[in-house]
């Protein structure tokens, strides 16, 4: 199968590309190497498979139809896996317009490409942030998601809606995947686990917003990729699935587990809660288990140990 992966140089995108190539697929990776974090990290991610005979890299922007056209005509894709996005909840509050441009308009450009080039299947990377401060736990795909509390979350909800429209109007099979706090080797350096780990190793204080009681459903990258692959194999009609570990952990418990994985104690700098931060995330993965055969297996302590080993042995810098 020929697959177009947007955001192929990123954290999830690079892991998915590696898996697809290992499975014998042909992959075209589209990425603009956005400087949201050090481009050297993304180039390092690409180096893991850039010379593979079945991989082609297209340096381009999902908001530019000409770049998307180049990616779509490099190899006629059978499927688009659209992972590229402008990421980050807090930065989206400070600069919401670029988030709308990339996450909503860029997604529309990709859907237009699927329509124009008659690409029958489309996977869209959504986010657990669409649930906002959902009072019902665990979060299920049927819950109301009309109250996102950050521009980033709102753009992901908008992406799901425009995906439904294209599926309905143009008979494209589209699956939206709501990722719950993915972590593991190559995780973005701005995300909590990676950021905290580097600060702990450098004997610097880690910023902890609130009293440590916020809970997140941390999901190891291998389990995320298993879910994406299952969704790709079963992409039919229009569907939304949660991909999470379904085991939410308090922030203070995460820090304790990270200390164990790194073999060092953290220095805590307590700060006020930040706008846009949700109180908890907790994935109900019943639908994904029943319909995708999704079964996350990586305990947090195991995943953090793998992450810590990678971090200590990588030359990647922030």
Catalytic residue numbers read 152
How many helices (H) and strands (E) would you count in the chain? 12, 13
The C-alpha atoms of residue 43 and residue 9 are separated, in whole angstroms, by 7
Tokens of 301: 């302590």
Judge contact between 10 and 84, C-beta under 8 A.
yes
Region at 52 (left for phi over 0; alpha for psi -120 to 50; beta for the rest): beta
d(CA 144, CA 47): 41
Residue 122 to residues 144, 219, 231, 244, Cα–Cα distance (Å)? 23, 23, 10, 20
Q: Phi and psi at residue 144, in whole multiples of 5°?
A: -70, 130
Place of tokens 């995460």: 254
Provide the phi-psi class of 181: left if phi over 0, else alpha when psi is between -120 and 50, else beta. Answer: left
d(CA 58, CA 74): 9
CB within 8 A of 95, min separation 6: which ones? none
């Amino acid at each position: 199968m020929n697959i177009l992966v947007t955001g192929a140089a990123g954290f999830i995108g690079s892991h998915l590309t590696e898996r697809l190539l290992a499975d014998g697929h042909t992959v075209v990776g589209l990425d603009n190497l956005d400087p949201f974090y050090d481009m050297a990290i993304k180039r390092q991610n690409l180096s893991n498979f850039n010379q593979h005979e079945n991989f082609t890299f297209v340096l381009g922007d999902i908001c530019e139809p000409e770049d998307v056209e180049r990616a779509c005509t490099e190899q006629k894709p059978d499927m688009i896996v659209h992972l590229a996005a402008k990421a980050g909840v807090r930065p989206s509050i400070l600069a919401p317009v670029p988030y709308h441009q990339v996450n909503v308009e860029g997604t529309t450009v990709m859907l237009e490409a699927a329509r124009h080039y008659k690409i029958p299947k489309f996977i869209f990377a959504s986010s657990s942030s669409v649930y906002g401060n959902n009072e019902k736990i665990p979060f299920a795909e049927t819950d109301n998601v009309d109250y996102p509390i950050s521009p980033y979350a709102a753009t992901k909800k908008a992406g799901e809606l425009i995906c439904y429209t294209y599926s309905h109007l143009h008979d494209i099979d589209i699956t939206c995947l709501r990722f719950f706090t993915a972590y593991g080797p190559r995780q973005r350096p701005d995300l909590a686990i990676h950021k905290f780990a580097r600060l702990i190793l450098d004997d610097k204080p880690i910023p902890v917003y609130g009293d440590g009681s916020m809970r997140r459903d941390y999901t190891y990258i291998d389990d995320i990729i298993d879910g994406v692959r299952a969704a790709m194999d079963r992409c039919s009609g229009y569907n939304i699935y949660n991909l999470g570990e379904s085991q939410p952990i308090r922030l203070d418990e995460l820090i304790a587990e990270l200390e164990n994985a790194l073999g060092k104690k953290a220095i805590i700098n307590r700060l006020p809660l930040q706008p846009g931060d949700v109180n908890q995330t907790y994935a109900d993965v019943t639908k994904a288990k029943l319909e995708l055969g999704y079964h996350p297996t990586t305990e947090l302590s195991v995943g953090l140990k793998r992450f810590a080993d990678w971090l200590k042995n990588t030359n990647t810098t922030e």
